[in-house]
Amino acid sequence: MHSIAYAHKIYFEQLHRSKYGMPLWRPKNFSSEVEIGDVGFYHDGGFYSIFNVTRPVDDPTQKYGCPGCEDYQPFQPQDLVTPDELSAGTTFHSKNVVRVKYDAQGGVPTANGGFSFSYKGGKGVILVLPDSATKKEVQNTLHVESYMRQHHEAWHKFAREEYGRNLEREELVLVRGWVKTTRWAVTIFDESDPSGTLNFNVGLPTASDSLELSTSHDHPYVQRIGPKRVSQTTAAGSTSQPSIPAVPKADQTVFLLYYKMKSRAAAEPRDRPGSPNDPNLIEIESVPAPIRIHDPVEDILDYILRNSNADVAIANDDDAATLYTELGIESPEDFSRTLQNTLLSIEVDDGTGLGRLALRPDLPY
């Protein structure tokens, strides 16, 4: 197996159009399980939660407190929906990968079966869910948007001053839903890979057996399976082979449904003091900028602010998924360019200055 630089970036940008939200390269939250109402940020393939807007300030999970602790009022979403589960053996893949074969017994991949894909070359991503997965999301979206509009500035200040993370406003994420499962397997291919057929085998005869993954491919790729198995110690003190509990917990968040927001003040360029000829300026050796993920939701925020009088723009992953489908956008790189050449309706609330895309109700939203 090879190493591909910025594998989490390829993973995010290739699977974001799946209509299931933000794909997490690291499905297990670093501090606690991802929940609806978490406010945090995406970094290096994972989601970091700062606090949760649905929990009281004295909740043990609120490690850093809450914005405006004395006046803080938790948000209580009323309408949650849990659609039908995604069946065991569900696969997600980039557009240049086509699933052509599936061998299984009882709907679950076995060591003797697996998956076969036709690969057209370029950057490629495959995600396999050996077990079923559950999706849950908030339905009363207008209430969520109103609450976020009211408190977003306080969240941003809290993230910088109390949590200590220098985030831009549009980097803050409000979790509105998730897709969780017990286990997963992924493969990522570099853009230098040629086209061809790919055999992707996931050995999983029973729920208690270990997860195995193999790929018949000679070119650069990255494979990951999870969660990591924990070694068990026998009575004699010896360590047995790593294994997964007989009933694994569905705490692996493979997709995150989310909102982002951006203000007009943050979108406008800021004047910087000094000039290249200023003798008081100190020259600092440049360092490589951190890798930025291309999030189409941020493209939508910019579009709203450029094409309306809104003071603040709000958008979510569903907006991006709808536009991917309806506008026939092929890749994340084409998203911003396509929006610039498209006329979309924008709703602006006169009272709050909040702008959002007015997507037609008959679209798959």
What local confidence, expressed as pLDDT, does residue 146 receive? Answer: 92
Q: Which class for 178: exposed (0-12), middle (13-18), buried (19 or more C-beta within 10 A)?
A: buried
CB atoms closer than 10 angstroms to residue 150? 12
CB atoms closer than 10 angstroms to residue 181? 23
CB 187 within 8 A of CB 177: no
What local confidence, expressed as pLDDT, does residue 195 receive? Answer: 59
Residue position matching structure tokens 């501090």: 31
Mean pLDDT of the chain: 78
**Cis ω on the peptide bond leading into residue 248 (within 30° of 0)?**
no
41 lies in some domain: yes
Residue (of 83, 37, 42, 53) closest to 177 by Cα position: 37
131 lies in some domain: yes
Longest dimension (CA), the chain: 74
Contacts of residues 337-340 at CB distance under 8 Å and 24 or more positions apart, as own/partner, are 339/299, 339/300, 339/303, 340/303
Q: If residue 10 lies in a helix (H) or strand (E), which one and from where to where?
A: helix 7-15
Provide the domain count of the chain: 1
346 lies in some domain: no
89 lies in some domain: yes
What's the average model confidence in pLDDT over 70-74?
A: 81
Cα dihedral across residues 260, 264, 267, 273: positive or negative = negative
Tokens of 261: 């927001």
What's the average model confidence in pLDDT over 312-325?
A: 94
What local confidence, expressed as pLDDT, does residue 248 receive? Answer: 78
What's the average model confidence in pLDDT over 327-355?
A: 90
122 lies in some domain: yes
> Does 264 have pLDDT greater than 60?
yes
Parallel, antiparallel or unpaired: strands 354-357 and 312-316 = parallel
Most confident of 67-81, 129-143, 144-158, 196-210: 144-158
Tokens of 356: 């959002």
Cα–Cα dist 243/161, whole Å: 42
Residue span of the structural domain in which 188 resides:
7-228+246-260
What's the average model confidence in pLDDT over 270-282?
A: 46
User: Computed over its alpha carbons, how large is the radius of gyration of the chain?
Assistant: 22
- % of the chain surpassing 70 pLDDT: 69
Cα–Cα dist 185/130, whole Å: 8
- % of the chain surpassing 90 pLDDT: 39
Tokens of 239: 């360590």
> Does 234 have pLDDT greater than 80?
no
Question: For 143-191, what is each residue's pLDDT tens digit?
Answer: 899 999 999 999 999 999 999 999 999 999 999 999 999 999 888 877 6
32 lies in some domain: yes
Indicate the Cα dihedral angle 212, 215, 218, 219, nearest 10°: -100
Tokens of 98: 């086509």
268 lies in some domain: no
Is the overall model pTM greater than 0.85, yes or no?
no
DSSP alpha helix (H) spans, 75-168: 141-158
Exposure on the CB side of residue 285, measured as CA atoms within 13 A: 1
Q: Name the band, by pLDDT with cuts 50, 70 and 90, for residue 310.
A: very high
DSSP alpha helix (H) spans, 252-353: 264-267, 296-306, 317-326, 332-340
The amino acid that residue 57 corresponds to is V
291 lies in some domain: no
